Structure 1
């Protein structure tokens, strides 16, 4: 299929040109181990082999650079990424003269490598090649999409983030809103609970995010959402949060000792199961607490508390759903 794109040739003239440009610039980079730049030769690992466009030892790390110009099929992209990961080689996907477009119009193959590179894309163009030659280093133009539209900058390979697993990136995406909210809630919380000043501010933000005029900070306080959040976070973190209890058994027993929290029992049962602590449910004291609490009407996903739990901890309930 790849050959048919170029009338029987295995690569386009542009692909060939870019590949040798990369090799030239990489060989001139002082961070590249002398003699380590190899173009178009197989790497063998176990029963598999791949032929990276360019490979080298850069800053002490084995790297592979694959040129992505055409609409390579996603299984091919995934297979290459898996192979280099198993082989212990850092992979960089590189394209030529990338023109930012709306995400809806981004080629599927580019979208796949965009996510592989932690929502970054790397490209070369004539200006970058010229600057690379002037500086004697392989530079790339990094693209990322934060907020409104695309951003870009020229960077060296050395300045990229090189995670131990996953592909390198130039700029990390901002944390998802729910992750940032949870981090701020945890930062404001001590063993004595979450102080009202911080709680009120976070409640107001949460109410706005829910987009329901009937929900405000006072209403969330009245429904004891703060106690529910701390209880869920305790099982996510693996230790009591916002409580002086010594362990999770004590925490859930204390949590369900209050009648106003009986309606949270079904939510907490799911949380306990998904976070891998389901053996706790077999303890007589905990089983008795849940048996009593479950006799009351329970908050479901359509309730205010259910909506909050889904908004802030959707991954818990998604895991539970996939396991059922």
Structure 2
């Protein structure tokens, strides 16, 4: 029940936008509703405006035309394909790359003999797809799709879903990729970049030469480092092949808040968060907050480490930083300390947001909250509130409010 306005969609970072874009696309492919217009209730998706490349909400086909936000029925996927390719045949470059991939896979001793198939349909009860190349490589069924031009995200998602259902690992591959700023990147390339856990794979003459020289199938992997694009030539066996999702060469760095939470957990046992790691981590938190007169010592004095361990306990559904046996004991013990009473409203939100709201019906928990909430409560503008929002953004999503006359 999250509300995402058009302004918020435009302001979303690229990772968040692509999460929304892919979720909306999958719903569109599966003919289900995930995002709907707040005005008319009809399903919407999140394309980019071609000229500005800014994302916007658009109604799916068949929306009520009297909705003030309706902008016309979108073209169907088939109609867009027809206008893009206009019956064009396979390009010579596409054919060359496809045949070269098959040649390299056949030469690689890790490929199961006789398993390399070029340009033939895979047919299942749920449909059919014709991968450019398929094979059994290192005992894994794989499919290679060559992507040289733009294509639509519904087609990308549909192919990925098909191969995943079929138990086949998909690799998108382009030719001679030249890194550019993400704002200038072909949208289709950015879509497959996110499919591959923020990696992009390409062939070029050097990769082909190295592959042919030692008889191993290789690709060039691109990813974004701290200072821009980086790349390296890798064997297919060097890739990480997850059970679900597409393979990748280099895992992206997690968002800061996730990395901080992981490091805090590493420094925390049932006896609490160890010194001096606790001090260093609280100093890092304070520096991220960038508020005058707030440092790690001030956070420690406010008992923020206890709050953080309590929040993590509910997120992870287990006691963090204590020997408490269950979450009821965690919250009762936490609220027993009078200097933590100002955190009660915040923790009530955490309890509900993590799916543990039934605890609030317990008499012991109700009593603790009733006493604590008599004291002034920290809000989103306070030091504690700002840090909680920074570390646990997923727990504080906006929810729509229905206004009644």
Residue of 89, 92, 95 corresponding to 2:171: 92
Deviation at 1:179, TM superposition (A): 1.8
Q: Deviations for 1:198-236, whole angstroms, at most 9, x for unmatched residues? A: 221111111111122332112212222111101001112
Residue of 12, 21, 26 corresponding to 2:105: 26
When you count helix as a share of all residues, which structure comes out higher? 1
Residue of 131, 134, 143 corresponding to 1:64: 143
Aligned: 1:225 with 2:297: no
The equivalent of 2:17 in structure 1 is none
1: CA distance, partners of 2:89 / 2:157: 20
The equivalent of 1:41 in structure 2 is 120
Aligned: 1:214 with 2:290: no
2: CA distance, partners of 1:292 / 1:32: 67
The equivalent of 1:139 in structure 2 is 218
How does 1:1-324 map onto structure 2 within 5 Å?
Answer: 1-2=80-81, 5=84, 8-318=87-397, 321=399
2: CA distance, partners of 1:135 / 1:213: 60
2: CA distance, partners of 1:272 / 1:44: 47
- The DSSP-based 3-state class of the residue aligned with 2:272 is coil
Q: Deviations for 1:238-272, whole angstroms, at most 9, x for unmatched residues? A: 22111232221111101111222112112111211
Instruction: Tell me: CA distance 1:167–1:57, structure 2 relative to 1, closer, same or farther (3 Å).
Output: same
Aligned residue pairs, count: 323
User: Which runs of 5 or more structure 1 residues have no equivalent in the other structure?
Assistant: none
- Superposition RMSD on alpha carbons, in Å? 1.8
Kindly indicate whether the alpha-carbon contact (under 8 Å) linking 1:3 and 1:11 is maintained by their aligned counterparts in 2.
Answer: no
2: CA distance, partners of 1:199 / 1:47: 53
User: Which runs of 5 or more structure 2 residues have no equivalent in the other structure?
Assistant: 1-79
2: CA distance, partners of 1:126 / 1:323: 57
Kindly indicate whether the alpha-carbon contact (under 8 Å) linking 1:64 and 1:90 is maintained by their aligned counterparts in 2.
Answer: yes
Q: Deviations for 1:80-103, whole angstroms, at most 9, x for unmatched residues? A: 111111111100000000001112
Q: Deviations for 1:288-322, whole angstroms, at most 9, x for unmatched residues? A: 1112222322212221111111111112223x748
Kindly indicate whether the alpha-carbon contact (under 8 Å) linking 1:3 and 1:10 is maintained by their aligned counterparts in 2.
Answer: no
1: CA distance, partners of 2:401 / 2:209: 54
2: CA distance, partners of 1:159 / 1:195: 37
2: CA distance, partners of 1:4 / 1:40: 24
2: CA distance, partners of 1:323 / 1:156: 52
Kindly indicate whether the alpha-carbon contact (under 8 Å) linking 1:6 and 1:12 is maintained by their aligned counterparts in 2.
Answer: no
Deviation at 1:116, TM superposition (A): 0.9
Deviation at 1:4, TM superposition (A): 5.0
